Structure 1
């Protein structure tokens, strides 16, 4: 009997364990497949690398990964515009201003901290010391130069904030280029349009347009419902695309490994730079950002981040904050319970202007190039690096190698040559992966912080409303009692002369109610 009973208990336990395991796999199937895709991609890339493929064969091999990037980029435009319009329209104007102010402060402070970490690590690790003999010729790299002034770069930022053509902003951005004026010796910068989505201008327009629809009141409700429906339909498309992500990541990662040149030479030559950049990303993403989240919410940041493994894996594989945005919005809402109004308002802005990881490697790169050219940086130049990296990261494109362009702005600001930028491009495919992960982590934790602050504000308002309701009931009873007394007085012939005074009582009752 005892043996039968114990065997029955074991069968029940095994059944429960099997159900829990099946439930866990069902809930986390996409995460497991995505992470497995990276591992399989690395193995596949190492195997195919030894086959000496031609350029055409490498293109064919990378095609499934290219399709993943194209699908993710296809969904960015409707997702950003519709989510920002519906988010800005659903929030109250006062709360919109308050949340926007907190978000801007969070983005600026975290980016400034990231810049400080990058500069400090560059001076501690000293990646450029002893590498003076290193040049682009020894690695077989082409030199990259930039003739644009720092002022022109910030003017480009302002130009992109206000696009002259919204339709063109969907596929073109403005960048200053030098043109000869009257004589070849006189060059003047003019804003010219280049290929590439102007997300910054679309973000600003969508926010302002959403606020304008909210101001319209009933007249704007139809259009708000249209954007809400468009946004929900876009999220359905995102959920479909996410099931292709594991398959696409296999070939995306594998093709990058196949395309690698002499990795040993690059790592030995630029190993200190790679180490300093990745260490900065680990410190900022693993310590600083979680501490900031814990300081605001008093909740475990790593349990929040555990629900975002799929977006982090996508960020690692694609090296694009913008391409990670669709899966980030979906996972933040479904896994972490962040309010849709908060996530769809703040995450598109963060994907555009919040670049903590980029700020770290830009500062490391600037100090690295200064050490490479045996240039001693003074306190003013270090301060310039911090401020310029923080400001220029706003205009950095959320695309692979987007941060390299902004390093030229920092170098111009401190008077260093830009012909060593090709060294950054040589190892950008390594550093850019951890850069993008830190970028999207900062966006996600910012959304979590804003969600917590919004919840606290709603609780306070609810408490105040409850107190007002209680006070309103008491005042209503008090006013009605006075009214009844005065009504009795009106029936007495002795107080008929006070009729004018008593006529104000109904108005008092009406105002209280």
Structure 2
């Protein structure tokens, strides 16, 4: 007699036949899942493959002994990728910040900015601490002093800018005199020697006078500040500002469509970017053998900071798995590794954070647009390890952490106690209070910068993404609290209004000022705004 089992009161075939049916279903679903996975992650797979193929291609072409001109032609597809990504940055940053500032009320904007600054300040301090600790433990400069910079074909670099002028230039760039020029030029102070008279011996006396110059490169700080203030001004206009807000929202979405098209070129471009870098490499063996400890200390610092510290901070705030969040960002991470540019990674980063991780558009674009142009991870690790590296390179003894301090310029090292005789190195003119880094040693670090900078950029991008995720989580929690508070106070009427608001926020990025959203909700304007 055939055994039958009952499921939900119905007689079923024997377990053997059931197993066969389930196996077929499982096989089918597995294939479907595999195809769905490949379809969803096709771009990621292609991008990672592009890096691997690029390495192999670079190694093959390296043996062909190309001329400088041929190297340039070989690097052309990669150059096109960088040009495309940089082309899209200006409209992406300006339009996203204007629409973001217009759709967040001033109070929320201030609180959002405050939390973001605190997060990035803390992560920078932690990065600096890790950098100094590793530098003292690994001692990257010990044994590297024998390396002759001439053997690497390096040029000396000089940095003679006064700290005061650096801060003044920052303020000047925040308020560009010409917005159109700010799209491709920045303000920078230079110096000239001016005769101011003669001394008693008849010798002409000169003074160094700061002179304003324009340098090539987008003044992103000025554009960011203008975009934010302009967005707030549009919000203050009320009904009159609606049309312009709609325009910038539409411009923003059109820009993201362009980004999605460019992203399909990334795997091909990355292949040639990586390949051309391998072809252009000088004597890598000499660099790694002489500066291997410096490279190891820097990359280890990035692994600790990016693999342990940042995920722990994210988990502490959200109680969610940080690695599942980061798994949706493989494409921007690969792009960051290949391009060494946080700003070039910005378009794909914004797209992936919003689509794969569901971060609010206003928050992601507000945070990422700011952070892509300020390398917080780099300033923490690079400056600290670089300072200790050069001190050790010149046989200087730094026995206390307090011996180090950064006066704002990564090209300077100050020692509070300058009594050790080894500070009087032949590179320096002795000063009773402090010394600058020797330019030869700086050029040493710049020689391996292209190696270290890849992990630096990835960590920068990771920190920005996790920061956006944390702010999104905090915003969601605050919104829930406000909804509960309104439900308690307003009863059924408040409940209906809160549902309407939730639907509005789930839709595409629009401003609370848009008429069709606000007319029915004028009684509760606060409910409409993103609450932080």
* TM-score calculated relative to the size of structure 1: 0.85
Instruction: Provide the C-alpha distance between the structure 2 equivalents of 1:93 and 1:249, rounded to a whole number of angstroms.
Output: 40
1:148 aligns with 2:161: yes
Instruction: Provide the C-alpha distance between the structure 2 equivalents of 1:172 and 1:378, rounded to a whole number of angstroms.
Output: 43
Larger radius of gyration: 1
Instruction: Provide the C-alpha distance between the structure 2 equivalents of 1:253 and 1:329, rounded to a whole number of angstroms.
Output: 23
User: Over aligned residue pairs, what C-alpha RMSD do you find?
Assistant: 2.2
- Number of paired residues? 455
1:164 aligns with 2:177: yes
Q: 1:459-498 CA deviation, whole Å, 9 max, x = no partner?
A: 111011111113999xxxxxxxxxxxxxxxxxxxxxxxxx
* Residue matched to 1:396: none
* Residue matched to 2:476: 455
Instruction: Provide the C-alpha distance between the structure 2 equivalents of 1:89 and 1:48, rounded to a whole number of angstroms.
Output: 51
For 1:182, what is the secondary structure of its paired residue?
strand
1:59 aligns with 2:96: no
State whether residues 127 and 276 of structure 1, in contact with CA within 8 Å, keep that contact through their aligned partners in structure 2.
yes
* Residue matched to 1:333: 354
* Residue matched to 1:344: 365
1:113 aligns with 2:126: yes
1:202 aligns with 2:205: no
The structural deviation recorded for 1:13 is 3.0
For 2:152, what is the secondary structure of its paired residue?
coil
* Residue matched to 2:284: 263
For 2:209, what is the secondary structure of its paired residue?
strand
Task: Give 2:331's match in structure 1, choosing from 310, 315, 323.
Answer: 310
Instruction: Provide the C-alpha distance between the structure 2 equivalents of 1:198 and 1:407, rounded to a whole number of angstroms.
Output: 20
Instruction: Provide the C-alpha distance between the structure 2 equivalents of 1:315 and 1:257, rounded to a whole number of angstroms.
Output: 17
State whether residues 357 and 434 of structure 1, in contact with CA within 8 Å, keep that contact through their aligned partners in structure 2.
no
State whether residues 41 and 251 of structure 1, in contact with CA within 8 Å, keep that contact through their aligned partners in structure 2.
yes
For 2:140, what is the secondary structure of its paired residue?
coil
Question: Which structure has greater helix proportion?
Answer: 1
* TM-score calculated relative to the size of structure 2: 0.82
* Residue matched to 1:246: 267
Unaligned 5+ runs, structure 1: 393-405, 474-513
The structural deviation recorded for 1:126 is 0.6
For 1:42, what is the secondary structure of its paired residue?
helix
1:353 aligns with 2:356: no
State whether residues 126 and 272 of structure 1, in contact with CA within 8 Å, keep that contact through their aligned partners in structure 2.
yes
State whether residues 411 and 418 of structure 1, in contact with CA within 8 Å, keep that contact through their aligned partners in structure 2.
no
Instruction: Provide the C-alpha distance between the structure 2 equivalents of 1:283 and 1:441, rounded to a whole number of angstroms.
Output: 13
Once the two structures are overlaid, the 10-residue window that deviates more, 217-226 or 346-355, is 346-355
Unaligned 5+ runs, structure 2: 1-12, 197-204, 416-432, 495-532
State whether residues 412 and 435 of structure 2, in contact with CA within 8 Å, keep that contact through their aligned partners in structure 1.
no
Q: 1:136-194 CA deviation, whole Å, 9 max, x = no partner?
A: 12333111112212222222222222211111111011111111223573111223110
Say if 1:416 and 1:409 are closer, same or farther in 2 by CA, change over 3 A: closer
The structural deviation recorded for 1:220 is 1.2
1:321 aligns with 2:342: yes
State whether residues 142 and 392 of structure 2, in contact with CA within 8 Å, keep that contact through their aligned partners in structure 1.
yes
State whether residues 411 and 417 of structure 1, in contact with CA within 8 Å, keep that contact through their aligned partners in structure 2.
no
Instruction: Provide the C-alpha distance between the structure 2 equivalents of 1:422 and 1:269, rounded to a whole number of angstroms.
Output: 14
Instruction: Provide the C-alpha distance between the structure 2 equivalents of 1:27 and 1:132, rounded to a whole number of angstroms.
Output: 51
For 1:384, what is the secondary structure of its paired residue?
coil
Instruction: Provide the C-alpha distance between the structure 2 equivalents of 1:153 and 1:95, rounded to a whole number of angstroms.
Output: 31
Instruction: Provide the C-alpha distance between the structure 1 equivalents of 2:145 and 2:182, rounded to a whole number of angstroms.
Output: 42
* Residue matched to 2:188: 175
For 1:174, what is the secondary structure of its paired residue?
strand
